A and B are shown apart, each in its own frame.
Chain A
């Protein structure tokens, strides 16, 4: 049966079933991989935003104090209390996450830029490695023979998004000259965010930093497949959801505008 379908790739019927068989195999492979709870994953993902703010705060603090204290690991520890402090069993805690997010909203331009850059960087690294993970998963949708930019974008829309956010991108538009629009009407990680019915500008603005992670992911995937970070511009913005889509908890869809310069 397998041999038969190989010899007659032109036959539509056989080609389909072969494709389905490979699809099925991929599914079995994916299911066999170790798993963790989606919630734990999503909380970690979303916690990157307050984390990035907190890092910025702490870096600013040390700069402010401007003490060039280096960790003195050579000196021997006399007292127990010193040893306990060095163990860092219970370090000083941060502000709660929502306060940190509010800080980000109120931060001045320069600070905000650095924080968002940090978020994009974390997304970038994730995307960069994620593509390796997906490429080596025997995915039948991937052929590397004449893999053009469009095929890569499709790969992002389908495989990367499915892996990271549990769903595919809803719509992909392109002018075939390096400009792409990726529409996700229900970007998963922000769905549990409760906003008022008449979502105010402020609230939407506060959610925006969470979109920098997928922006970084897109750039990371493109970079690992040969499009350098400097060549790619990627921006995320809100769009209205089409009227025919069922109402979801978050009122806006997300549009990722990707521009690849040769």
Chain B
């Protein structure tokens, strides 16, 4: 199957493309190892900040941002996707391609705002928090997987989408589902060099 030809189309081919890249073009590592490495990072942060969890959240977010701005490069190279024309398309690329390729999960897209600028990603499974259980004091304030928000923020910014990304709920906190909210603030303008026009 030629993946490039299938990428032009609609959402179904996006899913196929994502699966094809995951299956055939991706080197994989044990997900449990990934989970416990991330766990080591979070627990070290909790210790460093003496269990001041908002600070841990911020640190995870900025770490994610720094990963996202570089991860997007690999994503674009691997998928050869063109620019998305609207947020609906963007949401599909994120859930069916990006999450599939990097974490082998496909979050559901839901809760669209009326202006179609904000949506939610519902994570049924989350490789970052497999077999994780938060202690009581952390349950209130810690967004354990906040690195994901940072990654999305950084990656979207690199494709000229200025977004806010944050967690709404997390099963680790006793919520019924894990939900990330993505809200478009504005589309950043392509800068034209001075004197070009």
Contact = CB atoms under 8 A, between A and B. Distances in A.
On whether the two chains bind one another, the answer is yes
Nearest to A123: B40
A213 to B, nearest CB: 9
A89 B166 contact: yes
Interface string A108-133: 00000000001001110110011001
Interface string A87-124: 11111111011000000000000000000001001110
The main secondary structure of chain A at its interface with chain B is helix
Contacts of A36: 28-29, 31, 34, 102-104, 127
A38 B54 CA distance: 29
Contacts of A141: none
A47 B71 CA distance: 12
A28 interface: no
Nearest to A91: B58
A97 B29 contact: no
| Most central of A39, A50, A122 by chain B CB within 10 Å | A39
Given A89-B166, A90-B153, A122-B44, A38 B27 contact: yes
B143 to A, nearest CB: 8
A55 interface: yes
Contact of B36 (A38, A86, A90, A126): A126
Interface in A42-89: 43-45, 47-48, 50-51, 54-55, 58-59, 71, 86-89
Contacts of A71: 52, 54
B93 interface: no
A41 B166 contact: no
Interface in A160-195: 163-164, 166
B40 A37 contact: no
Interface of B: 22, 26-34, 36-41, 43-45, 48-49, 52, 54-55, 57-59, 61-63, 65-67, 69-71, 74, 101-104, 127, 130, 147, 153, 164-166
**Nearest 8 A-B pairs (CB), nearest first?**
A34-B31, A125-B40, A91-B58, A38-B27, A35-B28, A94-B62, A40-B102, A89-B166
9 contacts: A33-B31, A35-B31, A37-B104, A91-B62, A118-B48, A125-B40, A125-B44, A133-B32, A166-B29
